[in-house]
């Protein structure tokens, strides 16, 4: 059985992976890490783990519930034991796994 594509030149009907999958929104490469973290949203506070990070954001492994666009405060424990406190906005959520966080830009 032959399906008609309406295209006479089949080379024009070729679909590449680049055209099928949307491009990533990330503009900065992320680095895989395993850092302790804790975060606080509007209603909840949870222990967590950061599994990848860049200057622009990170992915937070956590069972806590967040909503896209929610502003949260996160504290990440650095390898030397110090804690770094940041604000960020949730950009996407993976239920029962975690969420992607875009760090807020510092003013001043």
Long-range contact set of residues 28-36: C-beta below 8 Å, sequence gap at least 24: 28/54, 28/55, 28/56, 29/54, 30/54, 30/57, 30/58, 30/59, 35/76, 35/77, 35/78, 35/79, 36/76, 36/77
Give me the percent of the chain exceeding a pLDDT of 90.
Answer: 60
Give me the domains of the chain, ranges plus CATH numbers: 27-103 (2.40.10.220)
State yes or no: pLDDT of 52 exceeds 90. yes
pTM above 0.85, yes or no: no
């Amino acid at each position: 059985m032959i399906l008609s594509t309406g295209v006479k030149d089949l080379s024009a009907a070729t679909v590449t992976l680049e055209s099928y999958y949307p491009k990533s929104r990330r503009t900065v490469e992320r680095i895989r890490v395993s850092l302790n973290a804790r975060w606080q949203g509007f209603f909840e506070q949870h222990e967590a783990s950061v599994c990848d990070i860049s200057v622009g954001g990170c992915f937070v492994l956590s069972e806590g519930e967040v909503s896209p666009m929610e502003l949260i405060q996160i504290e990440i424990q650095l390898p030397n034991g110090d804690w770094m406190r940041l604000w960020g906005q949730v950009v996407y959520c993976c239920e029962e796994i975690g969420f992607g966080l875009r760090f807020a830009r510092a003013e001043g």
